[in-house]
Structure formats: C-alpha cells, structure tokens
Amino acid sequence: MSTDNPSADSIRDQAAHWSARLNDSDLSESERGELHRWLLAHPRHANEFRAHNAILALAHEFPSDLRARLNAFAPASVSEYQEPKKRRWMWPSALAAALLVALVAGGWGVFGSPELISKSYATRTGETRTVTFEDGSVAYLNTRTQLKWIGDSHDRRVMLLEGEALFDVVHDPDRPFRVVLDNSEIRVLGTRFNVYRKKDGETTVTVLEGMVDVHERANGQTAWQRRLSANQQIVYRPLGLLGDVHETAAEKAIKWREGVMEIQNEPLPEVLEELTRYTDQRIVIRDPMLNQIRIGGVLNVRDVRVALARLQKLAPVGITQSGDTFTLAYQTQRH
C-alpha cells in the first residue's frame, strides 16, 4: 500500500498518536518523559510530530469555504446554537436557507465554494466562552448569550440574539464589521467594545478602544445615529428610546470577564436581576421595603451562593434557601 519502508508507517502512527494526545489533554509526567525520549530518538520522529501538528493547526484554520464543505460530513454540534423555530428576522433566515441549499446541493467535488459562512455560538447559564471568528476577530461571550457569525468576502456580521459579548475586532477596511440587533446596528473598524442586550431589548454599548457608530433603522430609514469613542457608553431601547452618549470607565463594563460584578449605589432589585443572569436558581424578594434599598460593592457572579452571602454583609437582608429558590427578607444588620 505504501511505497515507504514499513517503519515509516509506524513512525507516522506514533507521531499521530502523540499529536492527537497532546491536543486532547495534559500528559502525566511519565507520558511526557516517554514523548521526550521518542522525539529525541530520531530526527524523523520530530519531523513527523511537527507535520502532524501542522495538519491539526491547518484544519483549525480552514477558511470558510473549506470549513463549510467539510462540516457537511459531520452531524451538528449540540452545543452550537439551534435555530429557533419562530424566526424573528426575514433576511437572516433567507441567508440561512441559501446556505442550506448550497450545502445540500453541493456534494464533494462538484461543489463551488459558498459565498458566506454562518456559524452560531451560545453559552449556557453561568458559562463564559471565547470565540475566534474566521477573520481572527474575537468575541468573549458572557452568560446566556447567543450570537451568530455571518461572514463573506466583503462583509462581517455578528447577530447578537441575546446576552452580552465583548468584541476584539481585527481591522479590515475591505470588510466592515457590524454587530446587528433587531433594528439597530453597531458598525466598527478595528476596535474593542462590549455589547449587552437585556431580555427587554435595552442595549448598552461600551467602547474600550477605537470608535463605533451605532444606529437604528425604522421604516427603512436611519432613525438615529451616534458615534462613540473610547470610554463612552450609550444605553438605548427599541423604538428610539435613546439615552445620551456619556463618558464612562469602560473597563468596569467588562468586569464580568473576571467573574465579578461591580455595583455602585444601585437598587437591590436591579442587582438581583443582574445576578440571576448567572444562575438558574430563583431569587425572590419577600419584603417590598427591600426594593428601596441601594447597595454598592463587588459580587462574585461565578457562584451565586457566595454572592448572596456577600450581599448579606452589604445590605440589611437575610437569605433563606429552599430548593431552587433563594428568598430575601429584610433583616436589621447584626453587630
């Protein structure tokens, strides 16, 4: 079968084993020793090891057209975001349909490269995730976030369907990068900015570096447009309810990346609403007077239990847990 000598095959198999092994998880000390001995035993071993690693790296970097062709050979990942049954947008579903047609129609070999690649990403409650798009731009996804990348040779679009993400955008004047939310859009060149879309549609855009244009469309026309530069923030809602562009300490907007939430004199209900983004457990306020309380401090959002324990020290609340529900009651602070 092979024209090489027999040992070539076995070296190749060993190299494949080590490359795959190293790609999967950490090695034990004895395994590492074995790898080192094997690598140094013969120059051919080291070369094969490099060649196999290169294949893994190349596969990871396949451009969108190759990726799309090959993805057709594998079942969809369950961790990839599933298309909602009820589609809220007309144009993206048309694009998705076009892509699907392209994938179904094109078998291997007769397949022309599709114009665009679309990929969905999601995080579960309490999860964060780093995603590198095919252009090299990076999105850091906070808890309960869904977004979809749609890119082709002259356009880059991210649909933020839910949640919050920090974007690190690679500068490419030929391919504008846009974050699309229902009717509004954030257009950027190379920059770093955070977008948080609440369930009720309220959206906060914070720019850490560079500059972005935010605009909303209504009846096919631009309803409003604002330009934000570093350390500026805007909060807006659908239907043109628009706050002013204001200065902000932008780094605070991405404290979530460190797993903490910084609160400055904010109403307790809002703090709790933020906290529930990170847990599937319920947090209930029993005493209405707690709605009036404002608090400040830093809460760990990776562990709601820890956060609530801390909250007891920051505010006059007592917390009880039953099943999946935490109940907050008013309680004067002990000394």
Pick the piece of the chain touching other proteins (CB under 8 A) from 22-30, 82-90, 284-292, 298-306: 22-30
CA distance linking residue 110 with residue 181, whole number of Å: 36
Cβ at position 149, least distance to other proteins in Å = 14
Verify binding: residue 78, other proteins, rule CB under 8 A.
Answer: yes
Please list the alpha-helical segments (H only) found in the chain: 6-24, 29-41, 43-60, 64-71, 90-105, 250-253, 268-276, 304-314
Looking at beta carbons only, is 57 or 306 nearer to other proteins?
Answer: 57
CB of 55 to other proteins, least distance (A): 5
User: Does position 6 bind other proteins by CB under 8 A?
Assistant: no
Check residue 49 for interaction with other proteins (CB under 8 A).
yes
- Report the distance separating Cα 3 and Cα 119, nearest Å: 41
Binds other proteins by CB under 8 A, chosen from 34, 42, 79, 306? 79
Q: Which of residues 247-276 bind other proteins (CB under 8 A)?
A: none
Cα 185 to chain centroid distance, Å, stands at: 18
Q: Does 60 bind other proteins (CB under 8 A)?
A: yes
Closest distance to other proteins from the beta carbon of 68 (Å): 10
Site for other proteins in 156-215 (CB under 8 A): 168, 170
Q: How far apart are CA 111 and CA 129, in angstroms?
A: 33
Distance CA(96)–CA(106), nearest Å, equals 15
* 44 lies in the binding site for other proteins (CB under 8 A): no
CB 233 within 8 Å of CB 204: yes
The burial of 129, by beta-carbon neighbours within 10 Å (0-12 exposed, 13-18 middle, 19 or more buried), is given as middle
* 299 lines the binding site for other proteins (CB under 8 A): no
In a 13 Å sphere around the CA of 301, the CA atoms on its Cβ side amount to 28
Q: Which of 48, 164, 216, 274 binds other proteins (CB under 8 A)?
A: 48
Q: What is the pattern of x (binds other proteins, CB under 8 A) and - over residues 103-132?
A: -----x-----------------------x
Torsion over CA: 149, 155, 161, 166 (sign): positive
Stretch near other proteins under the rule CB under 8 A, chosen from 13-21, 292-300, 303-311, 317-325 = 13-21
Length of the chain: 335
SS3 at position 177: strand
In angstroms, what is the minimal distance from the CB of 200 to other proteins? 33
Shortest distance in whole angstroms from residue 255 CB to other proteins: 19
Residue in this structure with the two tokens 């976030």, named with its chain if needed: 145
Max Cα separation, the chain?
Answer: 83
Q: Does 153 bind other proteins (CB under 8 A)?
A: no
Name the site residues for other proteins (rule: CB under 8 A): 2-4, 9, 12-13, 15-17, 19-20, 22-24, 26-27, 29, 32, 35-36, 39-40, 46, 48-63, 66-67, 69-71, 73-75, 77-79, 108, 132, 136, 138, 168, 170
